[in-house]
């Protein structure tokens, strides 16, 4: 998902696959292999020995063990070190894939492994649960959400954060329960967060790969927004805008709005295609002979396949999103008292 989305947006990608599976894990069964830390390191050594390290952006995502996270971290750190004398020439986007919905789906040792490398990243993309794990703050209100982001900026010295899914319906009087809220921030020089939010209509379906899709779109769109901003920003360490740039004018906010527009349209098209695919299924009489659990499994496989994101057929919505969302500034003091 990540490679193809970046490629469809015109990025040359050197993909270092940390797993090679037959299908995504949402199917609840798969076969394939996981890269070891040594294999990850060897691939990077291969790039190094042939002078193939001229990356503008690195996107790191799921890694299958703490050692693999460390190996990926060592790559990010080495690229940061090499770019140190040329600020803004390299940018690391790190998706700290650890869990969701209150539950870790990686080994416990993966958490400290991420905590050790995040300080070298420029932008991280945790979901709400991962933001809680990293900040140590349970997010129960908008105020605690702001606290968590502030803590992430401060603890890890990471200048940009996007929390890619917030269960805002549980926290405040959001426009509707069918709204998905994305919160981002670029830190100010005093360490305070510059928070923006974008609300998008939620679609009633589980799609696998949307985290990677968000991250990959952000690679292309954030870089583009930085290059369209004040030229000085390109050569500023970590592409951090001056303090007088308001939250809604941040390149990160502009990027996020475009990213979400692309995602919304592609997922909407996927939902239409999924519904058509499921409607077209002719019940197979032999299924009557299956046990209840076998029938359920078959149905789950069918539904998982039908919900595969239709990304290549809708590449035009990646390149030219045709919907508009808005970023709004977000200050705890604007909120109803109970959510401050």
Query: What are the DSSP calls for 186-215, one per residue?
Result: E--TTS---EEEEEEE--SS--TTHHHHHH
Q: Are 44 and 79 in contact (CB under 8 A)?
A: no
Q: Distance between CA 154 and CA 135 in Å, rounded?
A: 10
**Is 80 a residue that touches a copy of itself (CB under 8 A)?**
no
- Out of 8, 195, 216, 252, name the contact with a copy of itself by CB under 8 A: 8
- The one-character DSSP state at 64 is S
**Is 290 a residue that touches a copy of itself (CB under 8 A)?**
no
- Out of 154, 203, 315, 332, name the contact with a copy of itself by CB under 8 A: 315
CA nearest neighbour of 15 among 48, 45, 58: 58
Q: Are 272 and 314 in contact (CB under 8 A)?
A: no
| Residue range at the interface with a copy of itself (CB under 8 A); choices 57-65, 107-115, 239-247, 294-302 | 294-302
Nearer of residues 23 and 89 to a copy of itself, judged by Cβ: 23
Nearer of residues 84 and 312 to a copy of itself, judged by Cβ: 312
**Is 228 a residue that touches a copy of itself (CB under 8 A)?**
no
- The one-character DSSP state at 118 is G
**Is 206 a residue that touches a copy of itself (CB under 8 A)?**
no
Minimum distance from residue 32 beta carbon to a copy of itself (Å): 6
Here's the x/- map for a copy of itself, 16-55, by CB under 8 A: it reads as: -x--xxxx---x-xxxxx-x---x--xxxxxx-xxxx---
Q: Are 182 and 165 in contact (CB under 8 A)?
A: yes
| Residue range at the interface with a copy of itself (CB under 8 A); choices 189-197, 233-241, 263-271, 295-303 | 295-303
Nearer of residues 302 and 331 to a copy of itself, judged by Cβ: 302
Nearer of residues 35 and 250 to a copy of itself, judged by Cβ: 35
Minimum distance from residue 19 beta carbon to a copy of itself (Å): 11
SS3 for 33? strand
Minimum distance from residue 123 beta carbon to a copy of itself (Å): 22
Q: Distance between CA 32 and CA 243 in Å, rounded?
A: 48
- Out of 99, 100, 187, 312, name the contact with a copy of itself by CB under 8 A: 312
Minimum distance from residue 7 beta carbon to a copy of itself (Å): 5
**Is 151 a residue that touches a copy of itself (CB under 8 A)?**
no
Nearer of residues 27 and 325 to a copy of itself, judged by Cβ: 27
| Residue range at the interface with a copy of itself (CB under 8 A); choices 107-115, 200-208, 248-256, 296-304 | 296-304
Q: Based on the number of CB atoms within 10 Å of its own CB, is 77 exposed (0-12), middle (13-18) or buried (19 or more)?
A: middle
SS3 for 30? coil
Nearer of residues 41 and 150 to a copy of itself, judged by Cβ: 41
- The one-character DSSP state at 316 is H
**Is 296 a residue that touches a copy of itself (CB under 8 A)?**
no
**Is 286 a residue that touches a copy of itself (CB under 8 A)?**
no
Q: Distance between CA 273 and CA 126 in Å, rounded?
A: 29
- The one-character DSSP state at 289 is G
**Is 291 a residue that touches a copy of itself (CB under 8 A)?**
no
| Residue range at the interface with a copy of itself (CB under 8 A); choices 71-79, 123-131, 170-178, 307-315 | 307-315
Query: What are the DSSP calls for 132-187, one per residue?
Result: HHHH-----SHHHHHHHHHHHHHHH--SEEEEEEE-GGGTS--S-TTEEEEEEEE-
- Sequence-ordered alpha helix ranges (H) in 50-94: 66-83
> Which residue is associated with the tokens 């996107």?
59
Residues interacting with a copy of itself, by CB under 8 A?
3-4, 7-8, 10-13, 17, 20-23, 27, 29-33, 35, 39, 42-47, 49-52, 298, 301-302, 304-305, 308, 310, 312-313, 315
């Amino acid at each position: 998902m990540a490679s193809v989305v970046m490629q469809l947006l015109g990025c040359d990608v050197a993909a270092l696959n940390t797993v090679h599976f037959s299908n995504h894990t949402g199917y609840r069964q798969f076969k394939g292999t996981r890269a070891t830390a040594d294999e990850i390191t060897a691939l990077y050594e291969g790039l190094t020995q042939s002078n193939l390290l001229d990356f503008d952006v690195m996107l790191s995502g799921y890694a299958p063990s703490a050692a693999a996270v460390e190996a990926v971290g060592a790559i990010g750190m080495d690229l940061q070190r090499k770019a140190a004398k040329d600020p803004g020439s390299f940018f690391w986007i790190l998706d700290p894939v650890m869990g969701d919905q209150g539950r870790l789906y990686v080994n416990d040792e993966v958490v400290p492994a991420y905590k050790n490398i995040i300080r070298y990243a420029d932008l991280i993309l945790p979901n709400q649960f991962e933001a809680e794990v990293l900040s140590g703050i349970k997010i129960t209100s908008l105020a605690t959400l702001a606290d968590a982001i502030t803590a992430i900026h401060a603890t890890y010295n990471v200048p940009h954060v996007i929390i890619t899914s917030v269960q805002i319906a549980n926290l405040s009087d959001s426009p509707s329960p069918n709204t998905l809220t994305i919160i981002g921030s670029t830190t100010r020089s005093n360490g305070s967060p510059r928070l923006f939010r974008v609300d998008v209509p939620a679609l009633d379906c589980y799609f696998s790969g949307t985290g990677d899709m968000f991250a990959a779109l952000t690679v292309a769109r954030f870089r583009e927004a930085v290059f369209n901003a004040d030229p000085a920003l390109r050569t500023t360490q970590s592409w951090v805008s001056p303090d007088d740039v308001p939250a809604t004018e941040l390149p990160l906010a502009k990027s996020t709005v475009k990213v979400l527009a692309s995602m919304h349209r592609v997922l909407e098209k996927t939902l239409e295609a999924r519904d058509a695919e499921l409607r077209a299924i002719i019940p197979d009489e032999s299924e009557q002979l299956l046990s209840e659990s076998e029938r359920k499994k078959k149905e789950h496989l069918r539904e998982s396949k039908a919900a595969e994101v239709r990304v290549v057929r809708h590449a035009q919505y990646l390149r030219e999103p045709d919907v508009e969302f808005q970023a709004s500034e977000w200050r705890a003091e604007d909120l109803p008292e109970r959510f401050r």
